[in-house]
Homo-oligomer: A and B are copies of this chain.
Amino acid sequence: MASKALATRLGDLAEAVGAELRGDANVLIEGVGTLQQAGPGQLSFLSNPSYRRYLKTTQASAVILSEEDAAACPVPSLISSNPYLTYADAAARLFPAKSFQPGVDPTAVVGESSQIDASAWIGPCSVIGEGVRVGADVFIGPGCVVEDGCDIGADSRLVARVTLCRDTRLGRRCLIHPGAVLGADGFGLANDQGRWVKVPQLGRVRLGDDVEIGANTTIDRGALEDTVLDDGVKLDNLIQIAHNVEIGKHTAMAGCSGVAGSTKIGSHCTVGGQTGLAGHLTIGDNVHFSGATLVTRSFSQAGYYSGNLPAMENGAWRRLIARLRHLEQMAKDLKSLKKTVKTLTGGPLK
């Protein structure tokens, strides 16, 4: 824990986050911590029931928790019907985003025809092309590349070393982590008697408001129309989004997952890590895929879908794979057994 909180009275914090205070309003909160690790002056929270066992002995000065857990709490508490959400709110107040001075670092390179809002910051060694529009209070960290024609909505933040290829559009309050690449060419190839010929990628990448993109994630520009991530979409690190994918509002995807070209994903979906979606699928709203699942067909129905083989001891796994190789034969043996036994009994099986 390296960060230092804005020291705040617990009563003031309760009021700010709209939680009911139980206990001393004058406790001073100067940091946050887990139930196990927090010490005096630190605020903690209880959300995941498997951590309930740490509540009794916590050294935190206060805990955010549900009404249900309040009685067991040995220290002052903030009562919330969604403790994790209330914690998010409290932490954001205790650790406000660092403010920055507007301007353009002298080592940055900005195209003459670009419009940089006077309240924005362009960091050292960043390169902004021509015809770019950078909105109010935008922060572009060091080492970013923003190609010609991009448009970055107000309050967005490119942390560092982000690439936006030509004509990429970001809504307001987008947050793009280091190494992310938005708008590189989609993987469009036509085959000419065994030789691959590049198909020009002429669409764009468009992000709605409040979109967050993880480190080293890649989102390809569309081939003809645009690749679109709607408001509130959250992507973790090292995710690949191919050309012309569309992702609906408030859908979240965990790291190392990939979506092939032209697949449409609905709103309020969640996609586990290392999950892959084939191309040209349509996924409905409120669909949830567990991690390491391969999605090869459309799922329109809200629900929870899976498809992986969990790890097991190596010997058991070897035997399983060997059996699977003979599953066809097992099915045939079973069929002929059924026939034979039916003849023997002269009637149906039990």
Contacts and interface: CB of A to CB of B under 8 A. Distances in A.
Contacts of A178: 145, 163, 165, 181, 184
Interface residues of A, number: 137
A349 interface: yes
Contact of A307 (B33, B240, B242, B317): B317
B323 A331 contact: yes
A340 B349 contact: yes
18 contacts: A2-B149, A87-B199, A88-B199, A141-B145, A142-B145, A159-B184, A163-B179, A175-B198, A177-B184, A179-B216, A181-B237, A194-B250, A194-B268, A216-B218, A238-B238, A305-B314, A323-B327, A340-B345
How many copies make up the complex? 3
A161 B159 contact: no
A283 to B, nearest CB: 10
A167 B2 contact: yes
Contacts of A339: 349-350
A142 B127 contact: yes
Contacts of A88: 188, 190, 197-200
Interface of A: 1-3, 32-34, 37, 50, 82, 84-85, 87-89, 91-92, 95, 105, 107, 109, 123-127, 141-143, 145, 147, 149, 159-161, 163, 165-167, 175, 177-179, 181, 184-185, 187-192, 194-200, 202-204, 212, 214-216, 218, 220, 224-226, 232, 234, 236-238, 240, 242, 250, 252, 254-256, 258, 260, 268, 273-274, 276, 278, 280, 289-297, 299, 303-314, 317-321, 323-324, 326-328, 330-331, 333-334, 336-341, 343-345, 349-350
